[in-house]
Structure 1
């Protein structure tokens, strides 16, 4: 299914010329349907309207690792700015993170500061299969022992389509260049995911998701066990520009975290 959607998107005609920019914002009456990259892992292929800002954040996120370590993220946020009709730029960071393990406690500014550029290639109008490319770079901003002191990056390919019966399907392929402390070198994480969403009642919707991660180590000794992760959650839309969400992720294999709980919100301006 994912391969077919990607081939369809690749064969589509080029996107129409840009009519709006950050300096000539999209009028409110012409804005796209509200869309977010959270709460599931699978990213959205839809971009933010030109000249508008969107904030997506977790009020709190609590994770328990397979080694019984715990991580508390406070207000991890994704701040988006629409650059044009088909392009937005995103800044993701975690103001405070606390990691408790058998080695002690590390806390401070999170290390996962990302700069991402999303380019929609098809279907930004939510009326057909949508496809985008999203390159990103990760900056080592962690304090208090949280940083791995290495720049990382990758490429994300999200796709989405509507199915009969008000079902919505999203999928994603991702390649992450990551530094592995245990191998003292860079490796590649190959990520694939699929998410299925459906309205529950009124403004409330639910989703279920599968995420798989295949680590490919560039250095001897790097962990290479496949990670299988399941996720589920609820969203509540309040008007056209505000959404609340809550959910969980469960790791089933490999070195994936045992569980994670989160609650968050997204607001478009």
Structure 2
């Protein structure tokens, strides 16, 4: 009788254990590197840094490459004294290579840029420069949450921008650090918070200045294929000593596990902020 009692007591628990969904066990990424790639059937969810200003704290799987590209981006610069500026960016590309468990190497290649300037009172663009932009070298290292198992993830991105763009570039070396974080709010929603600090160069004044750029974004997936990012971005620098602000919106279309399309806009909230429109994609191999 005692054995029968314990058997009846354990039956419901055994039935629940059989019905409960099994959480996928992540691979031990320490066993893989750029020389020994992670098997394709064990890749994590695609997590690009685009389309918003707020980047992802997740790295590319070891041994795999990822390409993120602005096919086209139009930037109407905020007013600077009495001058108006407009930029067209074509095929601005970010190449990524997963090096190890928590680190990837990135190369930003701005293939073609057209910059125009004119006085505010003029109706025609009076100056025009076009050509290859400034190449940027970047390294991302994740500190926590790169296995996508927990609710929180954090990383650091360090970069150096080389003055390869001639008249369409910044004109001098630029450096920066980015601290992106991600908090999973639910199965469909994530909160992303980031702080970026840069040492930029002003070609006209021939000196450097510091820029701080905090941002916060919410990503919500309506379905497995369609999502939306809403983002608020602020900027302050030691040159203008005034805050700039924008609200950014970008729908995301997850075509496959390794291909994502996006488009969006940055809405200027004051006169100094840029107004942008863009369309792009991310692909992983």
Q: Compute the TM-score of the two structures, normalised by the length of structure 1.
A: 0.87
- The corresponding residue for 2:244 is 227
- Give the match's secondary structure for 1:76: strand
Q: Which runs of 4+ in 1 moved over 6 A?
A: none
1:71-115: CA deviations, max 9, x gaps?
11001010000001110000012111001111511110113x211
**Alpha-carbon spacing, 1:188–1:206, altered in 2? closer, same or farther (3 Å):** same
Q: Does 1:130 align with 2:142?
A: no
Output aligned runs, 1:140-155, within 5 Å.
Answer: 140-143=163-166, 145-155=167-177
Farther off after superposition, 229-238 or 26-35: 26-35
CA shift for structure 1 position 183: 4.0
CA shift for structure 1 position 266: 0.5
**Residue-pair matches, total:** 246
**RMSD across aligned C-alpha pairs, in angstroms?**
1.6
- Aligned pair partner of 1:72 in 59, 84, 88: 88
CA shift for structure 1 position 254: 5.4
Alignment partners' CA distance in 2, 1:135 and 1:93: 16
Gaps of 5+ in 1: 1-15, 217-221
- Give the match's secondary structure for 2:41: helix
Gaps of 5+ in 2: 1-27, 119-125
Kindly indicate whether the alpha-carbon contact (under 8 Å) linking 2:185 and 2:191 is maintained by their aligned counterparts in 1. yes
Output aligned runs, 1:1-269, within 5 Å.
Answer: 18-67=30-79, 68-102=84-118, 103-111=126-134, 113-128=135-150, 129-143=152-166, 145-164=167-186, 166-216=188-238, 222-253=239-270, 255-257=272-274, 259-269=275-285
Farther off after superposition, 21-30 or 38-47: 21-30
Kindly indicate whether the alpha-carbon contact (under 8 Å) linking 2:233 and 2:247 is maintained by their aligned counterparts in 1. yes
CA shift for structure 1 position 199: 1.5
Larger Rg: 2
Alignment partners' CA distance in 2, 1:201 and 1:26: 27
1:197-254: CA deviations, max 9, x gaps?
11124411011001111102xxxxx322111111001000012100000100012125
Alignment partners' CA distance in 1, 2:61 and 2:36: 11
CA shift for structure 1 position 34: 0.8
